[in-house]
Structure 1
């Protein structure tokens, strides 16, 4: 399986869908299904039953996964495509717009 261009902790911008132009931090990456969970993006309403953890139950707003193709990495406040380059014997991510190395 090839490595994904977006990782947990990255700041991304949504480029398509109902939350277009929103920015947020990646909370989780589902590499198997090519989906990401972005903070404050694609909010859904979840109806929860009372449980030991949540005594009251009720309606909860939470983030849902969106497809990785609908987000773009932000580097220096600017959305950019991502490429890979060998830095010595280490493979690093590179911003296509600026050419700067993302992973140090």
Structure 2
């Protein structure tokens, strides 16, 4: 399995779809489905009927998973979208932003 270019806690920029251009933090990565969960992005609403456990019911808003190809890592320097490459520094494999050359982790 290839190394993950986007990880939990990363700041990402949405590249396409209804939330194009917005930024958020990755809450969860689902590698089997090739999807990510980003805070405040791709919010879906669900109408819940009142039940004994939840007598009020109401509208439930939560983030829905989106395909990993729709998001791109935000450059640590300027916050714009960038690609990621891997380099070895001090014997450790680190992620590097292609646009600015900044190290992302490490």
Gap change, CA 1:27 and 1:51, over 3 Å in 2? farther
Q: Hey, what does 2:56 align to over in structure 1?
A: 56
Tell me the TM-score normalised to structure 2 length.
0.87
Quote the offset at 1:58 in angstroms: 2.4
Distance 1:8 1:23 in 2: 14
Q: Hey, what does 1:89 align to over in structure 2?
A: 91
Tell me, which stretches of 5 or more residues in structure 1 are unaligned? none
Quote the offset at 1:6 in angstroms: 0.6
Quote the offset at 1:51 in angstroms: 6.3
Moved over 2 A (4+): 47-52, 54-58
Q: Is the 8 A contact 1:11 1:23 kept in 2?
A: yes
Tell me the TM-score normalised to structure 1 length.
0.89
Q: Is the 8 A contact 1:51 1:57 kept in 2?
A: no
Q: Hey, what does 1:30 align to over in structure 2?
A: 30
Q: Which moves more between the two structures, 7-16 or 39-48?
A: 39-48
